Amino acid sequence: MFLFGVSAQFISYSINSWFGNDTAQALESSLTLSKSALDNTLDNTIEQAAALQVEIISRTSMGGTAAEALRLSGETARFSQVGLYNPADGTTELISNPAALPPPPAEKEVAEELQRHGSSRSVTNINGKLYAQGWLALPAAQEKGKALFFRRPIPDNVARDAELIENARSKYAELTYAKQGLQTFFLITLLAAALLSIMLALVIALYFARRFIEPILSLAEGAKAVAQGDFSQPRPVYRNDELGQLTRLFNHMTEQLAIAREAEELNRIRQEAARHYLETVLESLTAGVITLDETGRLKTLNRSAENILGLPLSELSGSNWHDWPQSVPQYLLLTELFQTILATEHTGKPVQTAYTGGDEARILLAKATPLPADNGGGTVLVFDDITLLVRAQKEAAWGEVAKRLAHEIRNPLTPIQLSAERLAWKLQDKLGEQDAQILARSTDTIIKQVAAMKEMVEAFRNYARAPALKLEKQDLNKIIEEVLLLYEAGACTFDAVFSNIPAVMYADTTAMRQVLHNIFKNAAEAAEEAAQPEVHIHTDNTDGKITLTVTNNGKSFSKDMLANAFEPYVTDKPTGTGLGLPVVKKIVEEHGGRIALSNPAEGGACVKITLPALVEEHYEK
């Protein structure tokens, strides 16, 4: 930058010296001399033209014209051209050598000078040659205001010097005008050269610097690749000095890291395969499996665990099971279940427990096993839903009991009834009126109780035996309409809304009537507590399933009833046998369906039966 500043000052000083006062004064002096030479030439030409003017005036005073005087005068030989100029129209009549040179143009200034001074003169350039020309006024009385025009060449030496001086002055004026631009141009050129030199110096410096730091850059790129997990790019060794030794050590390090990563990746793949295998096994299990860490946080679980418990436990992954009731109050029953299962951790024996925290009551067989401390510790909970098994065992036991009761009780009932009737018939005429009334009431009580026992025995027989169903294609909606005819005269109002699609299925009409009659009768009896007893029936046929929903606005199911409604001899009616719903469940299941009880939020009770539908395209078949 210092060199650039010095050079700029030098250029400015040099350019200013070119345009100094000495040069300008020399040019002005030369121009003055040139003008003086031209003025002398013009003065000589005017003096010679004045002699011709006098001759013209003399000749015209004797009666001739100016044109004739010019033709006769010998003075015209001194000029290249002479003629008469008419200021009125600006034309010039050339008398001598008219074709040698073009006439002068009509100039208003010439006429004005003639009028003021009586003469005019100028220097003109014709075909690259300078000529001295002028005009002298003639008396108006002789030539009506015309003027003498004359023209002759300026000497070559004077013309050449004047032209050179004028050209030099013009160029000097142009340079003087362009002085600032010229100075700026030189400075810009200098600046460009300086910048180019600086850039070239930088490029050269960078080139040598890069050659020096190239090994370091190579190591930096290698370190970046290693940071991104790429160990397959060994760095080239450029030299045998310390940097070369460092590069060799770096390559050895990346090689060792690559080997370690391959081993780690192989171990990860094995662990992933083992985990996937374990997950596959867990998902295929029907039993629920839950693992807890040593602090009680939920680690893993399988799908069966959520299905059995009926809760979205996967959303609680990583949380402590002791805190679940605080965030989700309905999980209190689940934590009680966990406490029961964890109590078996030290005994090693499974426990059978009831769980009502899900969508329905379940009986679970569960066990807790501690995990080895080497693997992080914790506990694994394994539980299975044995509700159906326990229910099947109970049903089998009750079926056997029902068979024995039906056989052992039914046989003596008829003799008891006949004996009571015979006693009443034999003793009626032999006893007094009061004793006869006592006998009549007693025998009537015996007969009624025997009838009730027969009805109960018949219910046990129906529960114990499973007659073969006669399945036929039936429309459940029509069967419901036929059964509802029996309840038209009752105090309870039945409202039925049927599916748009016929609820066609394979059904035993008699068994299905028994199911409907039992459900409708129980619903009507439960609705008697309401001010306006109502039973609503709704059927739906979608996705190959027929759903029958029966709700009432009366009494709801008790908690114990919801948990054990389908077990024999479980009822909430004072006079019920507790065999109606078990028989209904058995018939529904024999039709391939399911039955469920619930209490709607708005009150009352609800019974929902789901049965397989006959697909529409198979109706004809």
Residue 474: pLDDT above 60? yes
What crossing angle do the helices spanning 179-227 and 156-177 adopt, rounded to 10°? 40
Tell me: do 370 and 418 sit in the same domain.
no
Overall average pLDDT of the 42-71 stretch:
77
CA 476 – CA 612 distance, rounded (Å): 11
Which residues touch 615 (CB under 8 Å, ≥6 apart)?
544
Write out the DSSP string of 572-594. Answer: SSTT--S-HHHHHHHHHHHTT-E
Tell me: do 484 and 580 sit in the same domain.
yes
pLDDT at 621: 44
Phi, psi of 100 (to 5 degrees): -70, -45
Tell me: do 407 and 505 sit in the same domain.
no
Measured between alpha carbons, how far is residue 372 from residues 349, 377, 611 in Å?
A: 18, 5, 48
Which of 182-186, 425-429, 502-506, 557-561 is predicted most confidently? 502-506
Overall average pLDDT of the 571-590 stretch:
78
How far is it between the farthest Cα atoms of the chain?
Answer: 215
pLDDT at 461: 65
Whether 146 and 66 have beta carbons less than 8 Å apart is answered as: yes
Report pLDDT digits (tens) over 384-435.
888 777 777 776 676 666 666 666 676 777 787 788 788 777 777 777 778 7
Q: In 285-386, which residue ranges form alpha helices assigned H by DSSP?
A: 303-309, 324-327, 332-342
pTM of the full structure: 0.41
Domain count, the chain: 4
What crossing angle do the helices spanning 2-18 and 179-227 adopt, rounded to 10°? 160
The β-bridge partners of 381 are 290, 368
Q: Of 177, 195, 215, which closes a domain? A: 177
Mean pLDDT is lowest, of 138-142, 184-188, 284-288, 598-602, for 138-142
- Taking the CB of residue 470, how many other CB atoms lie within 10 A of it? 10
Residue 13: DSSP 8-state: H
pLDDT at 323: 83
Looking only at the bridges linking them, the beta strands covering 605-612 and 545-552 are antiparallel
Q: What DSSP element (H or E) covers 550?
A: strand 545-552
Full residue range of the structural domain in which residue 418 is found: 403-464
Measured between alpha carbons, how far is residue 333 from residues 310, 338, 340, 599 in Å?
A: 12, 9, 11, 19
What percentage of the chain carries pLDDT values higher than 90? 9
Overall average pLDDT of the 295-320 stretch:
83
What percentage of the chain carries pLDDT values higher than 70? 79
pLDDT at 612: 93
Is 517 inside any structural domain?
Answer: yes
Is 354 inside any structural domain?
Answer: yes
CA 184 – CA 331 distance, rounded (Å): 90
Residue 552: pLDDT above 90? yes
Is 267 inside any structural domain?
Answer: no
pLDDT at 3: 65
CA 40 – CA 30 distance, rounded (Å): 15
Contacts 24+ apart (CB under 8 A), 593-597: 595/566, 596/360, 597/557, 597/561, 597/562, 597/565
Residue 153: pLDDT above 70? yes
Report pLDDT digits (tens) over 159-177.
676 666 666 666 666 666 5
Overall average pLDDT of the 296-303 stretch:
85
pLDDT at 447: 82
The CATH number covering residue 347 comes to 3.30.450.20
Reduce the DSSP state of residue 99 to 3 states and report it. coil
Tell me: do 334 and 380 sit in the same domain.
yes
Q: Of 177, 192, 222, which closes a domain? A: 177
Whether 134 and 50 have beta carbons less than 8 Å apart is answered as: no
Tokens found for residue 604: 């009352």
Tell me: do 367 and 426 sit in the same domain.
no
Residue 106: DSSP 8-state: -
* Strand arrangement, sheet containing 129-137: 91-96, 81-86, 147-153, 129-137, 119-126
Is 89 inside any structural domain?
Answer: yes
Report pLDDT digits (tens) over 242-266.
777 777 787 888 888 888 888 888 8
Residue 368: pLDDT above 80? yes
Radius of gyration of the chain measured on its C-alpha atoms: 68
Tell me: do 446 and 364 sit in the same domain.
no
CA 381 – CA 366 distance, rounded (Å): 7
Tell me: do 377 and 427 sit in the same domain.
no
Tokens found for residue 285: 């299990």
Overall average pLDDT of the 180-193 stretch:
74
Residue 293: DSSP 8-state: -
Measured between alpha carbons, how far is residue 484 from residues 514, 527, 552, 580 in Å?
A: 12, 16, 15, 19
Overall average pLDDT of the 136-158 stretch:
75
CA 521 – CA 484 distance, rounded (Å): 10
Tell me: do 32 and 66 sit in the same domain.
yes
Bigger pLDDT: 393 or 581?
581
Which of 400-409, 432-441, 513-522 is predicted most confidently? 513-522
593 class by beta-carbon count within 10 Å (0-12 exposed, 13-18 middle, 19+ buried):
buried
Binned at pLDDT 50, 70 and 90, residue 1 comes out as: low
Tell me: do 40 and 132 sit in the same domain.
yes
Overall average pLDDT of the 590-612 stretch:
91
Task: Check residue 227 and give left, alpha or beta (phi > 0: left; psi -120 to 50: alpha).
Answer: alpha
- Taking the CB of residue 542, how many other CB atoms lie within 10 A of it? 11
Is 235 inside any structural domain?
Answer: no
Overall average pLDDT of the 491-513 stretch:
90
Q: Is the dihedral of CA 309, 310, 316, 320 positive or negative?
A: negative
Is 605 inside any structural domain?
Answer: yes
Instruction: Kindly report the average pLDDT of the chain as a whole number.
Output: 78
pLDDT at 549: 95
pLDDT at 166: 67
445-447-448-452 Cα dihedral, nearest 10 degrees: 130
Is 478 inside any structural domain?
Answer: yes
Whether 117 and 18 have beta carbons less than 8 Å apart is answered as: no
Binned at pLDDT 50, 70 and 90, residue 534 comes out as: very high
* Strand arrangement, sheet containing 493-497: 493-497, 534-542, 545-552, 605-612, 594-598
Q: Of 320, 351, 385, which closes a domain? A: 385
Tell me: do 296 and 168 sit in the same domain.
no
Tell me: do 358 and 439 sit in the same domain.
no
Is 191 inside any structural domain?
Answer: no
The CATH number covering residue 522 comes to 3.30.565.10
Tell me: do 443 and 482 sit in the same domain.
no
